[in-house]
Amino acid sequence: GEDVEQSLFLSVREGDSSVINCTYTDSSSTYLYWYKQEPGAGLQLLTYIFSNMDMKQDQRLTVLLNKKDKHLSLRIADTQTGDSAIYFCAERGTDKLIFGTGTRLQVFP
Amino acid sequence: GAGVSQSPSNKVTEKGKDVELRCDPISGHTALYWYRQSLGQGLEFLIYFQGNSAPDKSGLPSDRFSAERTGGSVSTLTIQRTQQEDSAVYLCASSLVGEGTGHTEAFFGQGTRLTVV
Residue B99 pLDDT greater than 70, yes or no: no
Q: pLDDT: is A83 or B40 the higher one?
A: A83
Summarised one tens digit per residue, pLDDT across range B42-94 is 789 999 998 888 999 999 999 999 999 988 799 999 999 999 999 999 999 99
From the list A31, A43, A98, the residue facing B108 with the nearest CB is: A43
Summarised one tens digit per residue, pLDDT across range B3-30 is 999 999 999 999 999 999 999 999 989 8
Query: Measured between alpha carbons, how far is B95 from B104 in angstroms, rounded to an integer?
Result: 6
Query: Measured between alpha carbons, how far is B38 from B23 in angstroms, rounded to an integer?
Result: 19
| Distance between B113 CA and the closest CA of chain A, angstroms | 11
Residue B117 pLDDT greater than 90, yes or no: yes
Q: What is the pLDDT of residue B78?
A: 98
Mutate to test the interface with B, among A31, A44, A95 (most CBs of B within 10 A): A95
User: Which residue numbers of A have CB closer than 8 Å to B's CBs?
Assistant: 6, 30-31, 41-45, 48, 50, 88, 92, 94-102
CB atoms within 10 A of CB A81: 10
Summarised one tens digit per residue, pLDDT across range A82-97 is 999 999 999 886 678 8
Strand partners, B68: B76
Q: What is the pLDDT of residue A46?
A: 94
Asked if B94 and B61 count as a contact pair (C-beta separation under 8 A), the reply is: no
**Does the beta-carbon distance from B43 to A99 stay under 8 Å?**
yes
Q: pLDDT: is B110 or A30 the higher one?
A: B110
